[in-house]
Amino acid sequence: MNRWLRQHRYAASTAFGRLIHQPFSSLANILVIALTLAAPLIGWALLVSAQPLVKDLPVNPEITLYLKLDTSAEQAQKLSSELRQQYADEVLSVSFIDRDKAYKDLQKNPLWADALSTLGENPLPHSLVLSLNDSPNQAGVAEQLAAELANTPAIERIQLDSDWLKRLDSLLHFVRVALSLLSLCVAVIMIATVFNTVRLQALNQREEIAVARLVGATESFVRRPFLYQGAITGVAASLVAILLAWLALPLLSEALNRLAASYQQHVQLHLPDSLNLLSATVVIALIAALAARWSVTRSTRF
C-alpha cells in the first residue's frame, strides 16, 4: 500500500513539476480549455435559471372566435352566455368585442387609417375572446375546446392564442440539444489540446523514458505522470471556467431582467449547484486523463 502511494505521489509531483517548468505553455493550454468550457457552463446556467421563470409566467391561454359577418350583436351576446355556461369548468371569462368598436379603434391607428378609408364598409366581424382557467394541461384543453367550437355554425374562424407556449417549449428543447452538441464539441477540443500537449511532452522526454525502461520501469510507471498531468490540466481549466462564468453571469442577469420585467418577474442567473459542478469537474478530469493516456501510449512506442 505504501509503495502504491509513493508511486502515485511521485507521479503527481512529477506532473506538477512539468507544468510549473513550462508556465507559458501550461497557462495557455489551461486558458484555451477554460474558455471552451465556459461557453456550455454559461448556457447551462441560463437554462437552469430560466426554466423556473418560464413555468411561473402569468399566462392564461386565450381562444379568439371570429363570428360570421351576418351575426348580429344580440346573437353574439347570446352565444357568449351559452359558452360561459356550457364550458364553465374550462373557461374563466368570455369577452365580447363589438365590430363597430373594433373598427373605430383601428381607425385611430395611423397604420390602419389610410387602408380602412378606402373600404366602403366595416369588414370586421364580431368576436369573442375566451380566457381559460389555470390547469396542468392548458395547451391540451385549449386545443380540445377549439376543436369542439369549430363545429359551431356562427363561428367563421378560431385563433388559438397559446401556440406561443408550444414555441417556447420547443425553444427550450432546442437550447438543451444545442448545449449537448456544444458540450460534445468542447470535449473534442479538450481531448485534442491535452493529446497534443502530452504528445509534445512525451517526445521531448524520449531519451528519459527510454532510460527508465532500460532500468526496469514499467509502462504504468512511465505513463502515470502524464495521466496526472492531463487530470490536473482538466481540473485547473474547470476552475478557471467556473470563475469566468461567475464573472459573466451578473452582466447576463442584467440583460435578461429587462425581458423578465415585462412579465413582472425577476430572475437571478446562478451557477449550477456545487454537487453538479463537482461532478462535471471530475468528468472533465477523467476525459483529460484518458486523452493523456491515449497520447502517451501512441507517442512512446519506440
State the pLDDT at residue 213. Answer: 66
CB atoms within 10 A of CB 98: 14
**Measured distance CA(59)–CA(42) in Å, rounded:** 28
Percentage of the chain beyond pLDDT 70 is 74
State the pLDDT at residue 201. Answer: 67
State the pLDDT at residue 1. Answer: 64
State the pLDDT at residue 182. Answer: 73
pLDDT tens by residue, 174-194: 777 877 777 777 777 777 777
The three cell numbers of residue 90 are 374550462
State the pLDDT at residue 13. Answer: 79
Domain extents for the chain?
2-56+166-299, 62-161
CATH architecture of 62-161: 2-Layer Sandwich (3.30)
State the pLDDT at residue 293. Answer: 80
Ranges under pLDDT 50 in the chain: 58, 302
